[in-house]
Structure 1
Amino acid sequence: MSVAVDRLPLWHNRRFCFLASARVISVLGNGFARVALAFAVLTLPGASPGRLSLVLACQAVPQLVFILVGGVIADRMSRSRLMATADVVGVVAYAGLAALVVSGRAPLVLMCVLAVTAGLATALFSPAMDGVVPLVVPADQLQQANGILRVGTNVSLLMGLALSGVAVSWLGAGWALALNSASFVVSAVLTSFLGLGEPRRAKSSGWTELREGWREFSSRQWLWVVVCQYMVVVAALNANAGVLGPLAAEDHLGGARAWSVIVAAQALGAVAGAGLAAKVRVDRPILVAVLATLPSAVPIVMLGTGAPVWGIAVAMFLSGMSSDVFAVLWSTTIQREVPEEALSRVSSYDWFGSLAFAPLGLLAAGPAAQAWGADRMLFVCGSLIAAATLAALLAPQVRTLRAPAQRVRRVEEETNESVDAPPATGGQAAR
């Protein structure tokens, strides 16, 4: 028999409020940085697309290279302290970039060093963030907490992207980067108020702990199968968002204005999807999460077929909804199923695997579109997403893993059936 437990709303949870506020403010700053960094590089003397690509690559590569290290560190020390430390590293990186841009003297080598520092901050922060939520909220409120966090960060990112253009045009790209640095200061202060202590466990070598994290990761079929699925999905989505989608919009739909409508529709859908996922209760969360990936293929294929902007925008809205349903169910399941002491390391393997082919998708999209056409490559990307998703459904654990409440109820039903069943005959007992 299960006992109902009355929980106070999450807004009465002081630690959760600090965490949510920190995330909203830092993501708002990141929205500024996405636009400001690009324009900052392009407005400097000697600017070129190649220089911009190099600076952005210097920011992206450390996120992939050091993410496993970040997972080990997050399981060895206070996660809230590591998050605050990562925010401080972000302060240094973006304050340095801002100072260079405002001064008008920005050596490429120094820009790249600071971009690497910013990427390192993300690699330290992300696994710790994934592991800190179960330490802040009760297990039965994890899904609601993840949904609220996604809603808050999605809205914040939208605001950051919208306001960044105004900030860059009024204040300049350098001062917009300075605003991002200030957002990290606020986030670091709020995160330090979480006050989570050191983990109570013996510390072995980093390599040993990395192997232990791999065992936890690889022993769960549903986990590594979906990460393999998302190696393909993220690469295809990156190719669409970064290269193929804008090319198709330029060719068929009228250019940047149409593309901005499509991207905004996806962002609005993400906000709605996170709100839905915070409330929905499903029996098989991984099955639903994997199926929620399929709508992402639809607008990509529609872009390649010359569909009208309004139709693609509607499909993008639904894709945004489904992607955040996936994100909330996925994060909640990992937090429930993986032991807390290994959670950040497992999360780092999730991040590493999911992002492994992302740079390849961006690098290959341009030459492939030039050789075979953007429309054809959009169809290929949509087909890859569908094929990877259907392949993931072949794994038994993906289809059968149940949420904890449903598992308890199923055990109770099976127990009641065995109690109510008639005594077995001699032959039945022998079998």
Structure 2
Amino acid sequence: MTSTSDSPGIPSRLHRPAWAGRNYSLLTAAAIVTSLGANGSLIAAAFAVLDAGGDGGDVGLVAAARTLPLVLFLLIGGAVADRFPRHRVMVAANALNFLSQGAFAVLVLAGEPRLWQMMLLTALGGTGQAFFSPAAEGMLMSSVSGEQASRAFAVFRMAMQGAALGGAALGGALVAAIGPGWVLAVDAAAFAIAGTLRSFLDVSHIPPRTPGDGLLADLKEGWREFAGRPWLWGIVVQFSIANAVVGAADAVYGPLVARDSLGGPGPWGLALGAFGAGTVAGALLMTRWKPRRLLFVGTLCIFPLALPSAALAVPVPIGVLCAVMFVAGTTVEVFGVSWMTALHQEIPEEKLSRVSAYDWFGSVSLLPLATALAGPAEDAFGRSPALWGCAGLVVAVTAAVLLVPDVRDLTRRTLPVAASSESPDPERAAGGLG
């Protein structure tokens, strides 16, 4: 049957897909804005430190000042986001990031910012991120439902990765053209715009939170949810190690190999861009592909994450390195979408932010330590053996997590997840966890 909107002379209206509701569209638009600004500001902050007379060690101190409060406050942020309306937590965090980045921009534009001032403002930004990230992940997962959730997550991540890629390229160009202070100001404005968009989120579909027994009780309940699922804590432990060694290879060894063997920062930036392009391609692939064994397929796709470290250890020519980075970016994004789909499917809505906080905590907790030990490891073993060690650790922990039966057996469902972990779940018996 032909609808009237398809009749001659009457223009048809463009409709969003059914899974792209109002909240999802607002969240995606806000995430694109902040991702564009944040990826440019990372470059701007480093050059602001250098322009103020700092050295590489000072750049590292400013970066650590952001990571430390992120690690310290993530679990509290997750509990707060499950206790209070998530959109309010997100808006408050965006307001803090707006104020801290705005003050950072003013300091840089005024000239001669001091190291402790930059560290303090960056730490405030990390604190905002610690409260924002669990709330944002919980809000995103509660904004989609049904069989199209995986596609929705893939489109969201594709938009995020594309914005990150564009933000890094644009940020580098703008730092060179107008200076780091103005790029930091643009990032502050991006937080203001994103916070405004997020203030319009509709949370009427989310059941009201029942009063709990306090923050500590909420944290314990989140821990029980996390620790009671072997597939969940197994993969978080895997990624705490994999992220740490890959992060150290990218942050420390990659620039050194580029300087000594690849032709300097330009080729290394090209390789990082290839990885970013790969993540966009992987997300695009997952808009169409719905692997039934979510975590098994996703975990297999982590093995190629060892390839960049191995390629740097050789080292291979820049063209080969770019190809390797593209493949690694593509496959890791297949895991990313599968992981989000598994969390959405298995974790009760009222506990999503706390579980996401434990996930984030595991992902970032070892990164500062690994980065700090990268230099001593190179001195003790040599750069190439250290890089082979990074690659070997990725392979070892990925192979180990495949020994967990739930990782191999968890399957995609076709019906909405039960309202809470205590509710009966016929789908689990009919093909969920084995």
TM-score by structure 2 length? 0.90
Q: How does 1:182-197 map to 2 (within 5 A)?
A: 182-197=189-204
Which residue of 1 is the match for residue 101 of structure 2?
94
Aligned-partner Cα distance in 1 for 2:213–2:66 = 31
Aligned-partner Cα distance in 2 for 1:121–1:10 = 32
Task: Classify the secondary structure of the residue corresponding to 2:414.
Answer: helix
Which residue of 2 is the match for residue 31 of structure 1?
39
Structure 1 unpaired stretches of 5+: 1-6, 414-431
Aligned-partner Cα distance in 2 for 1:410–1:349 = 24
1:69 aligns with 2:76: yes
Q: Which has the larger radius of gyration?
A: 1
* CA separation of 1:277 and 1:109: change in aligned 2, threshold 3 A: same
Which of 92, 95, 111 pairs up with 2:118?
Answer: 111
Which of 310, 315, 318 pairs up with 2:327?
Answer: 318
Aligned-partner Cα distance in 2 for 1:138–1:395 = 27
1:170 aligns with 2:170: no
* Amino acid paired to 2:139: V
Q: Deviations over 1:175-232 (max 9, x none)?
A: 1100000000010011111132573322221000100000000000100000111111
CA contact (8 A) 1:269 1:316 kept: yes
CA contact (8 A) 1:284 1:400 kept: yes
Aligned-partner Cα distance in 1 for 2:388–2:115 = 38
* Amino acid paired to 1:137: V
CA contact (8 A) 2:19 2:145 kept: no
Q: Deviations over 1:143-195 (max 9, x none)?
A: 11111111111111111111112211222111110000000001001111113
Which residue of 2 is the match for residue 405 of structure 1?
414
RMSD between superposed Cα atoms in Å: 1.9
Which of 384, 398, 402 pairs up with 1:393?
Answer: 402
1:257 aligns with 2:257: no
Structure 2 unpaired stretches of 5+: 1-14, 416-424
Runs of 4+ in 1 over 4 A off after TM superposition: 406-413
1:49 Cα deviation after fit? 2.2
Task: Classify the secondary structure of the residue corresponding to 2:133.
Answer: helix
Q: Deviations over 1:371-414 (max 9, x none)?
A: 3221111100000000000000111111111111399889679x
Task: Classify the secondary structure of the residue corresponding to 2:352.
Answer: helix
Q: How does 1:107-186 map to 2 (within 5 A)?
A: 107-186=114-193
Task: Classify the secondary structure of the residue corresponding to 1:201.
Answer: coil
Which residue of 2 is the match for residue 18 of structure 1?
26
Task: Classify the secondary structure of the residue corresponding to 1:269.
Answer: helix
Task: Classify the secondary structure of the residue corresponding to 2:315.
Answer: coil
Task: Classify the secondary structure of the residue corresponding to 1:71.
Answer: helix
Which residue of 2 is the match for residue 336 of structure 1?
345
Which residue of 2 is the match for residue 9 of structure 1?
17
1:238 aligns with 2:258: no
Aligned-partner Cα distance in 1 for 2:412–2:371 = 36
Which residue of 2 is the match for residue 211 of structure 1?
220
Task: Classify the secondary structure of the residue corresponding to 2:291.
Answer: coil
CA contact (8 A) 1:247 1:374 kept: no
1:59 Cα deviation after fit? 0.9
1:252 Cα deviation after fit? 2.2
What percentage of aligned pairs have identical amino acids?
Answer: 37
Aligned-partner Cα distance in 2 for 1:337–1:216 = 11
* Amino acid paired to 1:74: A
CA contact (8 A) 2:19 2:149 kept: no
Aligned-partner Cα distance in 2 for 1:195–1:86 = 18
1:11 Cα deviation after fit? 7.4
- Range 182-191 or range 362-371, more displaced: 362-371
* CA separation of 1:12 and 1:294: change in aligned 2, threshold 3 A: closer
Aligned-partner Cα distance in 1 for 2:403–2:378 = 32
Task: Classify the secondary structure of the residue corresponding to 2:287.
Answer: helix
Aligned-partner Cα distance in 1 for 2:388–2:287 = 32
What is the aligned length? Answer: 406
1:251 Cα deviation after fit? 2.4
Greater share of residues in helix: 1
